């Protein structure tokens, strides 16, 4: 394993003092710093400046000034930039991965895929250029030959506000369609993860994207509020918690400003009586506890049939219990620390509530005791609770940490009880149905009230829309539907 000293010696970005405004790294005018801390050691290793109101005005103004030239290009020409950005991102893959791991503790085996996935998102959206460029003429239904030409104009200057759990791909899934649509952007990364996104900005600059089209400002959470409400912003795209999403939605509602919100989740994995539990165990961590449980769509509630409850619980506990927890820079690590001291406190509060409300711990259930340089890190034992009542907090609220709850449903008369349990939540983001008969499993998935449901696994498809229902958000990302979030439609009516 590469040591932290070796990692820091090779990284180009640790303590930085600039923002990316108008096509150049520009020294910050304020000496206020936001620290960057390694959650595996609890040691500060980097810092970034906090943007001022003047710098916000400069970034939004630069984006506004760049808009006519950028939007004036054909989408096919913008798509060529996207492909070049993808190539440049892949050239920066290792340093991006190491930076990301030091920022939020995501295991290196996960962050090493970030660059390739981001590049894939750019390349996929590049293939959609013809949808923007091709003539779209639609006849009037009256049949006199009159028709409407439908224009797909860019919505304008977009504020992209990202979370800390997947700080690269949850920016790129906004940035790529915004750029293809002809928009210019101002990016605000999470305060926990402000450095890894600089590799994306480097890739944008190296690809020759015109100055001002993409801007990056760093700062605390309250600075995101100023960006969202800035009068020069035309559209907001946000991924993060539901409470913050509500505040953003309220602000955008007052301003009549379009907004896309990808928010929290409390998704369920329904285990049908004929499920192959060995196959389930092979995808369990990726689908139900990815990134140490810090993933919005994962199915942290396992809804198991009473007839096989003990068997399901044993498989889940064994799968989680044998996965290695440790240094996220170690190749064999599956579970790292949670991303911050604040998140550690939040997750431990939920675990304490599970104990207090009578759930039974099958594995984990405590803060993890680590040795050496990890002894002060934010580690929590991956935890599986059984005998979880649907009314318990660990069953109803998003924890965003390494905690799985196993609920029981009565399968004596079918699976309706399982569907009702899965839908007994304010959220609606992800979900899985595990079953031997995949057609039957899909029929169950059709009844789950959620934006995305997998059959025997969960994955994100760049060409299919991803978004939440209810408290899980507004709008979608990915696919043509995600691209359309950055479009303002105009119909020009012509007489036949």
Six-digit token string for 111: 């962050």
Name beta bridge partners: 200. Answer: none
Contacts of 78 (CB under 8 A, 6+ apart): 70, 129, 179, 180, 182
Q: In what order do the strands lie in the sheet with 487-494?
A: 137-139, 147-154, 487-494
* CA 57 – CA 496 distance, rounded (Å): 47
* CA 49 – CA 17 distance, rounded (Å): 6
Exposed, middle or buried: residue 355 (CB in 10 Å: 0-12, 13-18, 19+)? middle
Among the listed residues 262, 381, 398, 477, the single catalytic one is: 262
* CA 111 – CA 113 distance, rounded (Å): 5
Cβ–Cβ under 8 Å, residues 27 and 55: no
Cβ–Cβ under 8 Å, residues 269 and 287: yes
Cβ–Cβ under 8 Å, residues 293 and 343: no
Please confirm, yes or no, whether 252 is among the known catalytic residues.
no
How many CB atoms neighbour CB 228 within 10 A? 22
Please confirm, yes or no, whether 330 is among the known catalytic residues.
no
Among the listed residues 55, 158, 296, 381, the single catalytic one is: 296
Residue 458 CA neighbour count, 13 Å, CB half: 29
**Residue 302 DSSP SS3:** strand
Cβ–Cβ under 8 Å, residues 289 and 399: no
Q: In 3D, which of 465, 15, 428, 398 has the Cα closest to residue 195? A: 15
Cβ–Cβ under 8 Å, residues 347 and 340: no
How many CB atoms neighbour CB 369 within 10 A? 9
DSSP structure class, residue 72: H
Active site residues: 262, 296
């Amino acid at each position: 394993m590469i040591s932290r000293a070796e990692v820091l010696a090779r990284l180009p970005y640790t303590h930085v003092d600039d923002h990316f405004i108008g096509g150049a790294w520009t020294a910050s005018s304020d000496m206020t710093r936001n620290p960057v801390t390694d959650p595996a050691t609890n040691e500060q290793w980097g810092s970034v400046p906090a943007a001022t109101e003047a710098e916000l005005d400069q970034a939004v103004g630069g984006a506004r000034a760049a808009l006519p030239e950028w939007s004036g290009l054909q989408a096919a020409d913008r798509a060529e930039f996207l492909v070049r950005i993808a190539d440049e991102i892949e050239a920066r893959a290792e340093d991006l991965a190491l930076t990301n791991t030091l920022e939020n503790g995501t295991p290196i085996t996960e962050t090493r895929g970030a660059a390739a996935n981001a590049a894939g998102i750019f390349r996929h959206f590049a293939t959609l250029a013809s949808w923007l460029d091709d003539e779209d003429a639609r006849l009037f239904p009256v049949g006199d030959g009159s028709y409407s030409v439908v224009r797909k104009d860019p919505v304008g200057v977009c504020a992209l506000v990202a979370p800390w759990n997947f700080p690269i791909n949850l920016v790129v899934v906004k940035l790529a369609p915004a750029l293809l649509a002809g928009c210019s952007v101002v990016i605000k990364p999470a305060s926990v993860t402000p450095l890894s996104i600089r590799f994306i900005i480097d890739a944008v600059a190296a690809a020759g994207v015109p100055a001002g089209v993409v801007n990056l400002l760093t700062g605390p959470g309250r600075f995101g509020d100023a960006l969202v409400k800035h009068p020069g912003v035309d559209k907001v795209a946000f991924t993060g918690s539901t409470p913050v999403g509500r505040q953003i939605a309220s602000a955008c509602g007052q301003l009549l400003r379009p907004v896309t919100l990808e928010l929290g989740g409390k998704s369920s994995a329904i285990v049908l009586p004929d499920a192959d539990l060995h196959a389930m165990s092979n995808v369990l961590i990726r689908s139900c506890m990815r990134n140490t449980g810090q993933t919005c769509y994962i199915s942290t509630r396992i809804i198991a049939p009473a007839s096989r409850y003990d068997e399901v619980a044993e498989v889940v506990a064994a799968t989680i219990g044998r996965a290695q927890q440790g240094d996220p820079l170690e190749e064999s690590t599956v579970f790292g620390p949670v991303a911050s001291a604040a998140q550690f406190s939040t997750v431990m509060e939920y675990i304490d509530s599970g104990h207090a409300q009578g759930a039974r711990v099958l594995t984990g259930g405590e803060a993890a005791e680590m040795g050496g340089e990890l002894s002060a890190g934010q580690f929590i034992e991956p935890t599986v609770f059984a005998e979880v009542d649907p009314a318990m907090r660990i069953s109803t609220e998003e924890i965003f940490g390494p905690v799985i709850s196993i609920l029981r449903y009565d399968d004596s008369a079918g699976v309706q009880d399982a569907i009702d349990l899965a839908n007994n939540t304010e959220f609606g983001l992800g979900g899985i149905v595990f079953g031997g008969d995949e057609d039957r499993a899909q029929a169950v998935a059709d009844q789950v009230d959620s934006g995305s449901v997998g059959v025997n696994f969960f994955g994100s498809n760049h060409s299919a829309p991803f978004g939440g229902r209810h408290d899980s958000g507004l709008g979608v990302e990915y696919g043509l539907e995600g691209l359309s979030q950055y479009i303002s439609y105009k119909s020009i009516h012509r007489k036949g």
